[in-house]
Amino acid sequence: MTIPKLHISKGSFKLDKIDNISTNTKTNEFCIKQHKNKNSICFKCYSFKGLDFRKNMIPLLQNNSDLLSTNIIDKNFLPTIYNIYFRFNSHGEIINLIHLQNLINIVNKNKHCNFALWSKRFDLIKQYFDNNIKPDNLILIYSNSKLDKPMNKPPKYFDKTFNNVIKLSYKDYFNKYTMFIDKKHIDNTLKRNIKKQYDIYKNDFNKMNNVNCYEKCIDCLKCYTKNNIKTIIEKAK
């Protein structure tokens, strides 16, 4: 008998010291559809781009996709997590209810660990937790697909929302500022004033947009601990 073995990815860069179990974004029908939507943060999906450069990861993530979404894995074969904090879906998205049940079983097997699960699949989350109790060591984070429209109230069963805001380049800021101004009235004085305004905008961007996600996750842990912070806002990359 072949024992199913899930791949655990080591956290790096922002996720340094926070490992994760992820799946293949490129074969996830939900992700593919979202990636085609120009009004969604998924249109600029880091996973789609990243896997083009790290193709060695694709078979490992696809193996996770297949194992997690096809059958309920015997609890004896589920991984033991040796971390205090752990993430699901650094890449990918919940595929179906079987996938979600397997993740919940991993959470329940590792009660010493705090898990955070990012998802846009409110449909699957609601369908599952309408009939099941959410483990105390699991934090559900609703990943808002809309740009520049932070959600302050998480959907039912979610603990927090994760949001992205766009910081304009000087060129985009200038074009937006002068959109309705006749070009013959755009002189050097106006350009200098716009540049001053842009410098203020650039320097105060985080404060103006309530950005509270800008450091390594292990040094922050807003998403991995129960607290009063319900809205996480990050500057879109």
Candidates 49, 48, 3, 41; CA nearest to 26 is 48
Task: From 178, 234, 169, select the one nearest 198 (Cα to Cα).
Answer: 169
Summarised one tens digit per residue, pLDDT across range 5-41 is: 999 999 888 889 999 999 999 999 999 999 998 888 8
How far is residue 119's CA from residue 110's CA, in Å, rounded to a whole number? 21
Task: Please give the pLDDT value at position 164.
Answer: 94
Q: What percent of the chain has pLDDT over 70?
A: 99
pLDDT digits 0-9 by tens, 118-170: 999 999 999 999 999 999 999 999 999 999 999 999 999 999 999 999 888 88
Tokens of 55: 């193709």
Give the residue extent of every domain in the chain. Answer: 13-165+220-235, 166-203
In contact, 226 and 134? CB cutoff 8 Å: no
Kindly tell me if the per-residue pLDDT of 69 is higher than 80: yes
Contact by Cβ (8 Å): 9, 16: no
Q: How far apart are CA 210 and CA 154, in angstroms?
A: 17
CB 11 within 8 A of CB 19: yes
Joined together, the tokens standing for residue 215 give 């450091």
Please state the φ and ψ torsions of residue 18, each to the nearest 5 degrees: -120, 105
Q: pLDDT at position 1, please? A: 52
Give percent above pLDDT 90 in the chain.
70
pLDDT over threshold 90, residue 44: no
What's the rounded mean pLDDT across residues 218-222?
A: 95
pTM of the model: 0.89
Quick one: pLDDT band at residue 2, thresholds 50, 70, 90?
A: low
Exposure string of 142-166, with b = 16+ CB inside 10 Å and e = fewer, is bbbbebeebbeebeeebbbbbbbbe
Confidence band for 94, pLDDT divided at 50, 70 and 90: very high
Instruction: Report the C-alpha gap between 217 and 221 in whole angstroms.
Output: 6
